Amino acid sequence: MNSNLKQLSTAVVAVLVFALLLLFSSAFFKGLRLDMTEHKLFTLSSGSQRIIESIEEPIHLYYFFSEESSRELTQLRTYADRVEALLDEYVSLSNGQLILTQIDPMPFSEAEDQADGFGLQKVPVGSAGEVLYFGLVGSNALDNTEVIGFFQPDRETFLEYEISQLLFRLIQIEKPKIGLISSLPVRDRVNPETFRSEPGWQALGELERNFEIVDIAEDAETIDSGVSLLLMIHPKTVPDALQAAIRAFLMRQGAIIAFVDPLAEMDQAAPSPMMPTLPQGQASDLNWLTEDWGVALRAQQIVGDAQLALSVTGQNGTPTRHLGILGLGPTELNPLEVPTASLESINVASAGLIDVFEPKLTVTPLLSSSIYAGGMDAAQFQIMRDPSDLQKTFVPGSEAVSIAVALSGVLPASAVLADPAAGAAPVGINLILVSDTDVLSDRLWVQVQNFFGEPIATAWADNGSFLVNSVEHLAGSADLISIRSRGRYSRPFDVVQDLKRGAEARYSQSAALLQVELAETEQRLLELEAQKTTDGLLTLSPEQTLALENFQDQKLSIRKQLREVRHGLDRDIQGLGANLKLINIAVMPVLLTVLLGLFVGLRRIRSRELADAE
């Protein structure tokens, strides 16, 4: 009896100690976090931390999430937990400068009216008219507001970037100014011929979120002193007066990003393919400025690449590799430079070759081809009807060529101005030169879809990020670049996917064999029908009948093999799942119990040793 009472007392004491430990940890270690994820998903990057440290006045954050409407949306609720945890991390590092309020906009409530007033996107989720809110609103001391209308789960890799970008915009008093010189309709406009509104390119829309873009006309003679960066996109004609203004802009330490092209496919003023001419009307360059510095765009030459060529629809509707449309991967992107760091893929079309000869500046490649690249005459693309025709005359080279480069360094004033003032100081040059303008067009990197009545842009390449990174590097916040792309919270089951791919490969091989044998048998049946007819009826010899029966048996055997492959796949996945459950349910608790027992045992041994020593 005493033994049972002693055991009960011990259990009660253990429960009380456990409860006290929980209270103690929640009171004194509330801000202590341990991030064990592979990409440190719950740990803010150094860029975000610097943005938080720069907050001088309180910023209110209002996090809207519909609890009741999301009850059945398990995956979305999991992602909402991720968003909430990340917001808590922002608040914990802000020293009270970020004030987070969580709001559940119930139907017909003032909170719902507030969410609508901020312009948050509401998504219908039920047949009874239920709607879901899942967004963030930020407000600073000047009552300026910034909004993330809806946290898109498929944009999870940009989650930290979007939150930090919202904070950065609230911190900024004025957006930095960018001067834009372009002969292409890259911004929202009204078509002068149809009088209809036409959307601009998504890449420019991304820029307008953080920067004020000022159009600079072709006949401009000066550039606003408030402009810190000049963005040039397909500058086909640059009159002498504008050239002088650009040189003067460089003299005051202005930076330039120039997208030029030997053949701009998005140039709507280009000649019709039915009336082929040389493509001078689609060409642009910056050679009038950079050639004296030892860098120039090669005239009338387009980069062809046998290794990086992407597949397009050919003349007969079949996939054909296009030597002029290239998919650049991590190997072709400079990982050590800010504009291309952490990017994975950039697509270009009819890009040019940048030649470097006795440069007066430091020239750093940003985008390059593979070693199997070579120059192709731009006129070929003007008269091309089938992309496969390009392969007939293409001669690959043996070294990579530059598609985008960064120029940096110091030049004497005489290298920038034709007639500099006496005693003019040397000029620091920061210029990025890209030999393709189509790289910014939507067709090469982004897909715009309708999401419950709202246009949602989903990027499938990093072209837009390359532009934004370049601009932020030369004129904006370098902190935002470091957090543009983080790891994903949802992790795929790589082992399961490998099992599926292996089984599908076996399945495809067996199916291919079946199709071959089926085609051969059908051909034999056609021959039999042509040769063996009696009164219009098909008759088969005993040998032919036996051959047909053998094929039917073989076909059944192959189908049985296909079923076994599929069943084997299911068994492998089920076995993997059973092993994971065993580890989670049995092995891990046992392991923790053993570790705890060892710890307690070592403590007791240590206590006895101390007692014996006394």
What pLDDT does residue 487 have? 45
Q: List the single range of 321-325, 413-417, 561-565 with lowest mean pLDDT.
A: 561-565
382-415 exposure pattern, b = at least 16 Cβ within 10 A, e = fewer: bebeebbbbeeebeebeebbbbbbbbebebebeb
pLDDT band at 275 (very low <50, low <70, confident <90, very high): very low
Answer yes or no: is pLDDT of 463 > 70: yes
Comparing CA positions, the residue from 38, 36, 41 lying closest to residue 486 is 41
The CATH class of the 174-444 domain is alpha beta
CA distance linking residue 446 with residue 455, whole number of Å: 12
Answer yes or no: is pLDDT of 397 > 60: yes
Show me where the domains of the chain are located.
46-169, 174-444, 498-524+549-613
Answer yes or no: is pLDDT of 511 > 70: no
pLDDT band at 274 (very low <50, low <70, confident <90, very high): very low
Answer yes or no: is pLDDT of 495 > 80: no
Answer yes or no: is pLDDT of 513 > 70: no
Answer yes or no: is pLDDT of 261 > 70: yes
Of all residues in the chain, what percent carry a pLDDT higher than 90? Answer: 46
Q: What is the mean pLDDT of residues 455-482?
A: 83
pLDDT band at 494 (very low <50, low <70, confident <90, very high): low
Q: List the single range of 316-330, 516-530, 538-552, 592-606 with lowest mean pLDDT.
A: 516-530
pLDDT digits (tens, 9 = 90+) for 199-251: 899 999 989 888 999 999 999 999 999 999 999 999 999 999 999 999 999 99
Q: List the single range of 11-15, 103-107, 109-113, 382-386 with lowest mean pLDDT.
A: 11-15
pLDDT digits (tens, 9 = 90+) for 541-574: 677 667 666 666 666 666 666 566 556 655 665 6
CA distance linking residue 133 with residue 353, whole number of Å: 49
* Count of positions (residues) in the chain: 614
Sign of the C-alpha dihedral computed for residues 379, 383, 388 and 389 taken in this order: negative
CA distance linking residue 338 with residue 392, whole number of Å: 39
Give the mean pLDDT of the chain.
81
Answer yes or no: is pLDDT of 273 > 50: no
What pLDDT does residue 194 have? 78
pLDDT digits (tens, 9 = 90+) for 375-389: 999 988 888 888 888
Which one is the CATH code of 46-169: 2.60.40.10, 3.40.50.720, 3.40.30.10, 3.40.50.300? Answer: 3.40.30.10
- Residues 6 or more apart whose CB falls under 8 angstroms from that of 470 comprise 257, 339, 432
pLDDT band at 279 (very low <50, low <70, confident <90, very high): very low
Scanning the structure block, which residue is given the tokens 């290239």? Answer: 326
